[in-house]
Amino acid sequence: MKPAPFRYHAPKTIDEAVALLAELAPQDGRVLAGGQSLVPIMAFRLARPAHLVDINGVDALRRLEVDGDALCIGACVRHEVFRRPVIPGPLGNLLAAVVRHIGHYPVRTRGTFCGSIAHADPASEWCAAAVALGARIVARSVRGTRVIPADDFFTGIMTTILDEDELLTEVQLPLLPADTRFGFYEFSRRAGDFAIAMAVALYRAQDGRMVEPRIAIGGAEARARRIAAAEQVLAGRAPDAETFAPAAAAAAHDVDPLEDAMTSAEYRRHLVGTVTRRALEASLASP
Contact positions vs ligand FAD (CB under 6 A): 30-38, 40, 75, 102-103, 107, 111-112, 114-116, 118-119, 121, 124-125, 167-168, 194
Q: How far is the CB of 18 from ligand FAD (least distance, A)?
A: 10
Q: How far is the CB of 79 from ligand FAD (least distance, A)?
A: 6
Strands 159-160, 209-218: pairing kind:
unpaired
- Side chain identity at 92, as an amino acid letter? G
Nearer to ligand FAD, 31 or 196 (CB): 31
Report DSSP state, residue 45: T
Tell me the residue ranges of DSSP E strands in 90-231: 136-141, 144-149, 154-156, 159-160, 167-174, 180-187, 197-206, 209-218, 225-226
Strands 51-54, 7-9: pairing kind:
parallel
CA dihedral of residues 265, 267, 270, 276 (deg, nearest 10)? -80
Q: How far is the CB of 120 from ligand FAD (least distance, A)?
A: 8
Residue 44 near residue 78 (C-beta atoms within 8 A): no
Residue nearest to ligand FAD (CB): 111
Q: How far is the CB of 195 from ligand FAD (least distance, A)?
A: 7
Nearer to ligand FAD, 121 or 231 (CB): 121
∠ CA 220-177-149, rounded to 5°: 45
Nearer to ligand FAD, 168 or 255 (CB): 168
Nearer to ligand FAD, 7 or 253 (CB): 7
Q: How far is the CB of 264 from ligand FAD (least distance, A)?
A: 21
CA distance linking residue 76 with residue 170, whole number of Å: 9
Nearer to ligand FAD, 129 or 250 (CB): 129
Q: How far is the CB of 74 from ligand FAD (least distance, A)?
A: 9
Q: Phi, psi at residue 197, to the nearest 5°?
A: -160, 150
Residue 47 near residue 54 (C-beta atoms within 8 A): no
Nearer to ligand FAD, 116 or 276 (CB): 116
Nearer to ligand FAD, 102 or 234 (CB): 102
Residues, the chain: 287
Q: How far is the CB of 206 from ligand FAD (least distance, A)?
A: 32
- Residue of 270, 216, 215, 206 whose CA lies nearest to 239: 206
